[in-house]
Amino acid sequence: MSPAVEQFRQQLSRFAMRVAVTCGERSWSYAQLLDEVAARQAILQRGAVQRLAIALDNGPEWLFWDLAALFGGVPCVPLPGFFSPAQQRHVLDTSGVDTLVASDAQAFAALGFALDSDGLCRRTVAAPAALPAATAKITYTSGTTGQPKGVCLSAEAMLSVARSIAQATASSAIERHLCVLPLAVLLENLAGNYTPLLLGARLEIPPLAEVGMRGASQFELPAFLASLARVRPNSLILLPQLLLALVTAAEQGLALPDSLRFIAVGGGRVAPQLLERAEALGLPVFEGYGLSECSSVVCLNTPEQRRIGTVGRPLAHAEVRLADDGEVLVRGARLLGYLGEPAAADDWLPTGDLGHWDDGFLVLHGRKKHQFVTAFGRNVNPEWVEAELVQQLPIAQAWLHGEALPANVAVLVPRAGAISDAQLQAAVDQVNAGLPDYARVHHWLRAEQPFSEADGLATANGRLRRAALFQHYRSAIDTLMAGSNV
């Protein structure tokens, strides 16, 4: 056990009699949590497990096995339930997983896994891919094209991030955290599990359906609100779209618990307007920024240092600087390497994100590779405009295109089939009123169907596949532009 992991284990043991985990009517103290972890650690050792994948719904079992792998020095591979079967097979095969803990063992039988006497799915892996030394977790990023990519992380890097978040949020006195995102997502795994445990807080880990999460992009607000009322958490981690649903519900008069002290939001661009709406409601929302390659969170707004429109200041473990072209570079708690690729020689990781500083707070513009240049030579980050568009109630999804065009064109997915073109136009007008001319939506098209993994226009976690969208709508855009005066 590495010194960082041993320190983590000892810190948990100090909270022995406190409640550590709750799920429904069952709960485990910190001492019982460590007992559960030790029992699973012994199973991993007895079976000489080389690499463990976790294919479970959210719940205490996910946490127990994850910590067993961490304490036992077994590389852990979270297997997102929202990955397609082909993506899951890619993850298991490229990472060389020999052991799988799964709620549905039969689903993996075709990949050579069979149940053993301990209830684990086992298979023989002849020549597993070599891992960087000290790899504790291989988290796969879904990306926007191609197969997921394995990011190898050390325990030291992950725990340093968890400690930084604990330090930054200490004043919020978090005692109860509700896990909303899948634990296979690194952000919830670290900030939503490790950090509260470091603080001696209680984790509420219900199945995803109980908090309204179904698949990668389906969200049922009533179930989420019911969980909030039942658990009365102090902290949550939300994606922008989930925050939008929460804020909209509160604006419509639906009651939210007064227990909330820290709502972290990240995983995508958050429109400042949404944060201002949350602030007007008295919701303690704090935007952050991170990426898997940096062991999750890099920057975070806090109660002491908060500026709407920014992603906060760098956490204690991280250094951030900007390249000459504005690309964000990060040093500290970075990946050991991508699976199957040589490690980078430079300590500074190019993130692919563009930004600028505002009195020590980082402001993001969007992805460097997504930026387009109009026919008038203006640089536009479409994510900025798209985030504003989906703030409007009639618009569920938006994609903005303007590369080499004299005018920008948006493809809009209405939130419901009954939404009229007039309502969409009013929403676009509302957004345009706050944008400079070069970034405005000059023309728009109504989407044929929602952007999804099924039609190849979005990833499993909802990120736009921009190249696929361009190919799909290229003819319609050409026709639209040919008939316009701009």
Structural domain including 77 reads 28-152
Q: With a cut of 50, list the residues of the chain below it in pLDDT.
A: 144-145
Give the H/E segment covering residue 23: strand 19-23
Task: For residues 116 and 228, state if they share a domain.
Answer: no
Q: Is residue 11 part of a domain?
A: no
**Rounded-to-integer distance, Cα 421 and Cα 484, Å:** 18
Evaluate whether 352 touches 293 at the Cβ level (below 8 Å).
no
Q: Could you tell me which of 294, 288, 355, 370 has the C-alpha nearest to residue 321? A: 355
**Rounded-to-integer distance, Cα 160 and Cα 341, Å:** 24
Q: Is residue 175 part of a domain?
A: yes
Using the structure block, give the residue that is written with the tokens 């930004």. 355
Task: For residues 146 and 161, state if they share a domain.
Answer: no
Task: For residues 233 and 290, state if they share a domain.
Answer: yes
Task: For residues 421 and 311, state if they share a domain.
Answer: no
**Rounded-to-integer distance, Cα 123 and Cα 338, Å:** 24
Q: Could you tell me which of 319, 310, 318, 325 has the C-alpha nearest to residue 357? A: 310
* Residue 246 three-state SS: helix
pTM: 0.84
Per-residue pLDDT tens over the stretch 32-54: 999 999 999 999 999 999 999 99
Point out which residues pair with 367 in neighbouring strands. 353
Task: For residues 359 and 432, state if they share a domain.
Answer: no
CATH of the domain at 103: 3.40.50.980
**Rounded-to-integer distance, Cα 464 and Cα 452, Å:** 8
Task: For residues 143 and 178, state if they share a domain.
Answer: no
Q: Could you tell me which of 167, 139, 127, 150 has the C-alpha nearest to residue 69? A: 139
Q: Is residue 117 part of a domain?
A: yes
CATH of the domain at 413: 3.30.300.30
Task: For residues 166 and 302, state if they share a domain.
Answer: yes
Task: For residues 347 and 218, state if they share a domain.
Answer: yes
- What's the domain count of the chain? 3
Task: For residues 355 and 212, state if they share a domain.
Answer: yes
pLDDT value at residue 241: 81
Task: For residues 163 and 86, state if they share a domain.
Answer: no
Q: Which of 125, 152, 179 is the last residue of a domain?
A: 152
Q: Is residue 252 part of a domain?
A: yes
CATH of the domain at 337: 3.40.50.12780
Q: Is residue 325 part of a domain?
A: yes
pLDDT value at residue 368: 86
Q: Is residue 382 part of a domain?
A: yes
Q: Could you tell me which of 230, 242, 240, 170 has the C-alpha nearest to residue 206? A: 230
**Rounded-to-integer distance, Cα 73 and Cα 67, Å:** 10
Question: Residue 339 half-sphere exposure, CB side, CA atoms within 13 Å?
Answer: 26
Q: Which of 365, 390, 417 is the last residue of a domain?
A: 365
| Alpha-carbon dihedral angle through residues 159, 162, 166, 168, given to the nearest 10 degrees | 120
Q: Is residue 260 part of a domain?
A: yes
The count of other CB atoms within 10 Å of the CB of residue 120 is 22
Point out which residues pair with 328 in neighbouring strands. 322
Q: Which of 102, 122, 152 is the last residue of a domain?
A: 152
**Rounded-to-integer distance, Cα 235 and Cα 263, Å:** 5
**Rounded-to-integer distance, Cα 66 and Cα 21, Å:** 14
Evaluate whether 447 touches 396 at the Cβ level (below 8 Å).
no
pLDDT value at residue 141: 83
What letter would DSSP give residue 154? E
Task: For residues 424 and 401, state if they share a domain.
Answer: yes
Point out which residues pair with 401 in neighbouring strands. 409
Q: Is residue 3 part of a domain?
A: no
Task: For residues 306 and 395, state if they share a domain.
Answer: no
Using the structure block, give the residue that is written with the tokens 């400079």. 436
